[in-house]
Chain A
C-alpha cells in the first residue's frame, strides 16, 4: 500500500519538475524571438489618450496623412483610454522607467512635462523649432511659457481656452440681463437677476470644474501679469489680490451655484445651461463641441450664437487662459529620425488645420485658415492673435503635478468648510513647497 502511494507521489513530483523544465525555456525563447520579425520595417509608435470623440477622429486624419507621405515608416497608434489621461500617464510612467519609451508621447504643454524633463526622459527639441520655423509662427508668449530653463521640449498641436463664460441667451433675456457682463460688478448684478428669475445663476460641476472656476476667478482678479507671477519663485499668494479672488470664489459657491455640484460632470453642468435651467457656466471651450456636435456623438446639436452664447469670463477680457496638447521626443526613442519628422509634421499648418477643426480647438500657429472653423472657433482664432496669454493651472500649464495635487486638497477642504483664511494659508504653503 505505502509503496504504491510513494510511487504515485514520485510520479507527481516528476510531472511537476517536467513542467518546469518545459515551460521555462519556452518562455525564454519566446522573448528572444519576438523583436526579430519587426526589426525590418520602421514603425512610429505614438502614445496618447486620444481614444474617443473629436480627438480620436482628428488623430485618425493625421495618421492618414502621415502614412501616405511615409510609406516606409507606418504609424503605430498606442493609446490608453480612461480617466482623462490619468490611466495613460500611469502606463507611460512605467514604460519610461523601464527604458521602453514610445517614439513620441502626448502631454499637456507646460509644467506638467517638468517631471519628465527633470527625470531626463525627454530631449530638448529647440532644433526642431528652428528647422521647421515654428518659433516665428507661434505666439511669442506661448513659446516663452512652454520654455523650461532655456529649452523647448514639446510641440503644441492645439490650443484650448479655459476662461470662457457660456450662457443661454433666452434665459438671459427672460431674466432681464440685457448685455453680457464683462466686469466682475456686472457679473454679480447679472447673477442676481438670474437668481431673481428663478434659475440657477451659475451651473457648477464636480471638484475639478470648481478648480477650473477658481482659476478663472484668480485670472479675472489679478490680471495676466499678476497670474503669471504667482507661479514664479517670488509669487505672493498672501496678497490682498488673492484674498479678493478667494472671497469672490466663495461668494459664487455660496450664493450663486447649484447645491448638487459634486454630483455633476462638466457635461451635466453645461446641459443645465443648454436646457434653460441655468443662466451661466464657466468651462473650457470643449463645451462648444459638446453643445454644437451631433446627437449621434452624444452631443446636443445646438445652434451656436442662437441656442448658446459665449464670452470671456467677466474681468478677464483680453486674456486667453490657454492649455494645449503637445507631443515630445523621449530620450532613447527607437525611431528617433522618424519621431523628429513627426514632430515637425505636427507643427505644420497642414497638420494643425486638419486636426483642430475636428477636435474643436484652434491651432497654436497664427496662420490658420479661418474658413475651416465654426463660429466659436473663428472668435477664438481672432482672440488668440491679440490676447495676452495665461497658462492654465487645472490643465497642467503653470504648475507641476505635485503642486496641482496640493491645490486640489486645499480646494477640496475649502469647498466643504468655506474657511477663506485657511484656504489662502494652504495656497501659500503649496507655493512654498513647490515653486521653483
Chain B
C-alpha cells in the first residue's frame, strides 16, 4: 500500500499520455504493418492475409528502385551540405563578429518558413527554361557571364535530386548553425586558454580541444537531418509535383494509397520508411541512454 502511494499518483498522472501513445502511435504502427501484409489492394477494405506480397511487389517495381536512388542522393547531399554550411556559419560567428545576434536571427529565419512555401520560391529559382525564357538562378548565371553553370536543376536526369536538396540545405543550415554554436560555446574558455598557454596554435586549439567536444552535437544533427530527409514529402511536391523524375518513397506512398488505392503497398512503403528511420534513431537512443547512465 505504502509503495503504491509512492508511485501510484505519478503513474496516474502520466497514464493518459501512456494510453494515448500506446493506441495512437504503437497501435497504429501495428495496424499499418497488418495492412501491409493484407490483401487490401482496392477501395474496399479486405483483411485477407497476403504475406509479403506488397514488399515483393515493391522490390520488382522500377519506380521504387528509382525512389530509393532519389532519396539516397537527396539524403547525402542534404546532410553533407547542411552540416558543412551550418558548421561554417557557427565557426565564423564563434570567431567573433559584430552584430552576432542579427546574423544568428537571419540565418535561423529560413527554418520558420514551411517547406511548401520555400519550395514554391525555389521552384521558380531553379527554373530550367532555356534561351529567352530563362529566369531565376539560370538568368543570374547568364547575366554574370557564367552561362556554363546554367542547368536543368531538379529535372536533371541523374543528379536532379542533388538540386532538390538545395532548398532543404537553405532551410536547415541555420538550425544546424545554432546547434554547433551552442557546441562551440559549451567548450570552457579555460580549456582553450590552457592549450594556448602550452603554446598550441589557433589551428591546434580547434583541432584538438574544440572539435572533439562537438562530437555529440554532430551526432544529434546527423540524426535530426537524417530523419527529416527520409520522410521528405512536402518539399518534393512543392518543387517537382507528382512526377516520377523527382519521386521519393513518401510521395510514392501517397500515390499508392490515394491514386492507385493499393493500401497494402502504401502501408508497406510506410513500414519501410519507419524501418529506415529506426535504423538511425534506435542506435542514437541506445547511445544517449548509455551515456546518461555513465554520467
Q: Which residues of A come within 8 Å of B, CB atoms?
A: 6, 9-10, 12-13, 16-17, 20, 86, 89-90, 93, 96-97, 115-116, 118-121, 206-208, 258-260, 262-263, 277, 401-402, 404-406, 408-409, 411-413, 415-416
Find out whether the CB atom of B12 lies under 8 angstroms from the CB atom of A17. yes
**Interface residue ranges, B against A (CB under 8 Å):** 5, 8-10, 12-13, 16, 41-45, 61-63, 66, 123, 127-130, 133, 152, 154-155, 157, 240-245, 247, 255-256, 258-262
Residues of B within 8 A of A415 (CB): 244-245
A12, B10: Cα distance in complex, Å: 9
With both beta carbons as reference points, the residue of chain A lying nearest to B134 in the complex is identified as A260
A sample of 30 cross-chain residue pairs with beta-carbon separation below 8 angstroms, ordered by A number, consists of: A6-B5, A9-B9, A12-B13, A16-B16, A20-B16, A86-B259, A89-B258, A93-B43, A96-B43, A115-B261, A119-B44, A120-B44, A121-B43, A121-B44, A206-B243, A207-B241, A258-B130, A259-B128, A259-B130, A259-B152, A262-B243, A263-B128, A263-B129, A277-B133, A401-B259, A401-B260, A401-B261, A404-B260, A412-B243, A412-B247
Contact of A405 among B5, B241, B260 (CB under 8 A): B260
A174, B127: Cα distance in complex, Å: 28
| A416-B128 contact, Cβ under 8 Å, with A13-B8, A86-B259, A262-B240 | no
Tell me the minimal C-beta distance from B267 to chain A in angstroms.
15
Bound CA span A10–B5, Å: 8
Q: How far is the CA of A411 from the CA of B9 in the complex (A)?
A: 61
Known: A86-B259, A119-B43, A413-B62. A260 touches B244 (CB 8 A): no
Contact B43 A413 (CB under 8 A): no
B63 to chain A: which residues have CB within 8 Å? 409, 412-413
Give the total number of A-B pairs whose CB atoms are below 8 A apart: 110
- Give the CA-CA distance A120 to B66 in the complex, in Å: 36
The residue of chain A having its C-beta at the shortest distance from the C-beta of B247 within the complex is: A412
Task: Determine the residue in chain B with the shortest Cβ distance to A89.
Answer: B258
B13 touches A409 (CB 8 A): no
| Given contacts A260-B155, A409-B63, A118 and B44 within 8 Å (CB-CB) | yes
**Complex-state Cα separation, A258 to B130, whole angstroms:** 9
New A-B contacts (19) at CB < 8 Å, excluding given A10-B5, A115-B44, A263-B123: A13-B12, A89-B258, A97-B45, A118-B43, A118-B44, A121-B43, A206-B241, A259-B128, A259-B152, A262-B240, A262-B243, A263-B128, A402-B41, A404-B259, A408-B244, A412-B244, A413-B244, A416-B157, A416-B244
Nearest B-chain residue to A10, judged by Cβ? B9
Q: Determine the chain A residues whose CB is within 8 A of the CB of B152 once the complex forms.
A: 259-260
The interface residues of chain B lying within 8 Å CB-to-CB of A412 are 63, 243-245, 247
